[in-house]
Amino acid sequence: MAALLSVENLRIVYGAVEALKGISLALNQGEIVTVLGANGAGKSTLLRAISGLVPPESGAVYLDGEALNAVPPYDIVRKGISQSPEGRRVFATLTVEENLNLGAYTRQTHKKEVAEARARVFELFPILVQRRNQLSGTLSGGEQQMLAMGRALMSNPRILLLDEPSLGLSPLFVKLIFKIIREINAQGVSILLVEQNARKALGIANRGYVLETGVISVSGPASDLRDDKKIQEAYLGGAALKRKHTA
């Protein structure tokens, strides 16, 4: 069975810097796949390339076998790929509801579908109902992350790209965000998750890839990556390893 989303030999070059060095990966229907790696490994570049925001030097991104290289970003959204970016990037001077409406800009002629998507977002993130008329810049970091994810869901995506959803959040919000990611996936959305919190990411993912300086160094089932000593030492830390053995 062909993958829902596949990246094949993708190279991304910024000037003299080769950010991605011919990487390949796949996301199957219904999966959560995580991409781990340190800062500067190329994780965000990968998501931006899939979204059509940076052109590849070579290689290609395919959705259901269709190459997306020449497809503009707004049409990639229409085809079913949406992204919640690192740093949330909500529009601070717009209300929560106005931010959500922007997420549905490709579907404005489908008012019923937009209303259904908004209801679904409010069901996933009840706090946004209370905050719907509040300026987004006044939300907490965790609430802004929920808004960014909700905005990405307003286009009814088949694939949700999540870039560091737990970054800078309190442990309580991190736990809640990962619970909601599971719920989104259970509703039929396939998820490509870029995340530095390897423990949490591998806890919900089906498979994972480790990206190091533009190259995929390790890949496999999430359970195998959790048990890999090199992964534990590099991304889970000695304390995490000790807890694993004493739990």
Q: Is the per-residue pLDDT at 157 higher than 60?
A: yes
Check residue 247 and give its pLDDT.
Answer: 34
Exposed / middle / buried, residue 245 (Cβ in 10 Å: 0-12, 13-18, 19+): exposed
- pTM (global) more than 0.85: yes
Q: Is the per-residue pLDDT at 105 higher than 90?
A: no
CB-side neighbour CA atoms (13 Å) of 93: 0
Exposed / middle / buried, residue 235 (Cβ in 10 Å: 0-12, 13-18, 19+): buried
Instruction: Supply the mean pLDDT for the chain.
Output: 89
Sequence ranges of the domains in the chain: 1-74+179-193+203-246, 81-156
Worst-scoring range by mean pLDDT, 71-75, 93-97, 200-204, 241-245? Answer: 241-245
Q: Which residues pair with 66 in a beta bridge?
A: 63
- Mean pLDDT, to the nearest integer, of 103-120? 81
> pLDDT confidence of 104, banded at 50, 70, 90?
confident
Taking residue 154's Cβ as centre, other Cβ atoms within 10 Å add up to 23
3-state secondary structure of 185: helix
Check residue 8 and give its pLDDT.
Answer: 97
Q: Is the per-residue pLDDT at 239 higher than 50?
A: no
Distance CA 241, CA 37 (A): 18
Check residue 228 and give its pLDDT.
Answer: 87
What's domain 1-74+179-193+203-246's superfamily in CATH?
P-loop containing nucleotide triphosphate hydrolases (3.40.50.300)
Exposed / middle / buried, residue 79 (Cβ in 10 Å: 0-12, 13-18, 19+): middle
> pLDDT confidence of 108, banded at 50, 70, 90?
low
Q: Is the per-residue pLDDT at 22 higher than 60?
A: yes
- Mean pLDDT, to the nearest integer, of 22-34? 97
Q: Is the per-residue pLDDT at 13 higher than 60?
A: yes
Pairing verdict, β 190-194 and 159-163? parallel
Worst-scoring range by mean pLDDT, 38-47, 68-77, 102-111, 237-246? Answer: 237-246
- Between these two residues, 108 and 79, which has the higher pLDDT value? 79
- Between these two residues, 52 and 241, which has the higher pLDDT value? 52
Backbone dihedral angles phi then psi of residue 80, each to the nearest 5 degrees: 120, 15
Which residue is it, tokens 């706090």? 127
